[in-house]
Amino acid sequence: MNIILLGPPGAGKGTQAGRLVTERGMVQLSTGDMLRAAVRSGSPVGLKAKAVMAAGELVSDAIVSALIGERLDLGDTDAGVIFDGFPRTAQQAAALDLLLEERGRALDYVIELDVDEAALTERVVGRFTCGHCGEGYHDAFKKPVVPGVCDVCASTDFRRRPDDNADTVAIRMAEYRAKTAPILPIYEARKLVRRVDGMAHIDDVARAIGAILDDRLAH
């Protein structure tokens, strides 16, 4: 099972991918996470990507496509792959087709998280994660039960992404509209797109995605 989660920043792609990892043993391939790891490690890719990411713009198609290709070759993706934040351009969509074909795989679904863009900036600007276990929180919608202490692992180390500020989010949204939204018709023509209400409760979104995958497995 190979699926793409598609939607603007804050649509819930990472949250839902995390659920699929836990509940179905699928592997999450997030180019954003891979790039952030590269920036932290100071690798050549990280050095190239750092300023581009901080500006909210897109890293080159060649770099992200290479990251995905390398990741697919690690050999732990048999239970299925969730592409999270990739592809983001028509060129990346074409590269993904090739990468999958070369490995005898195919896309099963492109799941579009349908969201109200006006609400997304608040979602993104308020979010933070536990630096130890990665649990996600939000200033308004999901605060830790004990302020400053992670509900899951009791760590007091929390992180915010430097690009989760209002100015950068506006640029990331514009990038999504200009470069990523136009790839939907490509997948629509191939009848791969399934639309899910991304404004629903996290559990309901997860259920809707699960039903789509179960339907696939049953046929």
Q: Can you give the binding site for ligand AMP, defined by CB under 6 A? A: 9, 31-32, 35, 52-53, 56-59, 64, 85-86, 88, 92, 163, 172
Cβ-based nearer residue to ligand AMP, 5 or 196: 5
146 CB-contact burial (10 Å; exposed 0-12 / middle 13-18 / buried 19+): exposed
Annotation marks residue 195 as catalytic: no
| Closest CB 175 distance from ligand AMP, rounded Å | 7
**Nearest residue (beta carbon) to ligand AMP:** 32
Q: Which residues, in sequence order, are bridge partners of residue 114?
A: 197
| DSSP-assigned letter for residue 58 | P
Is the CA virtual torsion 25, 30, 34, 37 positive or negative?
negative
- Catalytic annotation, pick one of 36, 88, 179, 194: 88
What's the rounded Cα separation, in Å, for the pair 137 and 143?
Answer: 6
- Catalytic annotation, pick one of 13, 36, 123, 194: 13
Cβ-based nearer residue to ligand AMP, 129 or 207: 129
- Catalytic annotation, pick one of 19, 123, 172, 194: 172
Q: Is the distance from CB of 114 to CB of 6 less than 8 angstroms?
A: no
Annotation marks residue 13 as catalytic: yes
What's the rounded Cα separation, in Å, for the pair 177 and 171?
Answer: 10
Cβ-based nearer residue to ligand AMP, 90 or 200: 90
| DSSP-assigned letter for residue 105 | -
Is the CA virtual torsion 145, 26, 20, 138 positive or negative?
positive
Annotation marks residue 216 as catalytic: no
- Catalytic annotation, pick one of 142, 161, 195, 207: 161
Write phi, then psi, for 157 (nearest 5 degrees). Answer: -100, 105
Cβ-based nearer residue to ligand AMP, 97 or 207: 97
Q: Which residues, in sequence order, are bridge partners of residue 193?
A: 110
Q: Which CA distances in Å does 76 have to 72, 90, 98, 99, 209?
A: 8, 27, 19, 16, 22
Residue recorded with tokens 């099963």:
108
- Catalytic annotation, pick one of 50, 123, 127, 194: 127
Annotation marks residue 194 as catalytic: no
Annotation marks residue 105 as catalytic: no
Cβ-based nearer residue to ligand AMP, 108 or 163: 163
| Closest CB 214 distance from ligand AMP, rounded Å | 26
| Closest CB 17 distance from ligand AMP, rounded Å | 10
| Closest CB 195 distance from ligand AMP, rounded Å | 20
Q: For residue 135, what are its two tokens?
A: 């649990």
| Closest CB 128 distance from ligand AMP, rounded Å | 14
Q: So which residues are the catalytic ones?
A: 13, 88, 127, 161, 172
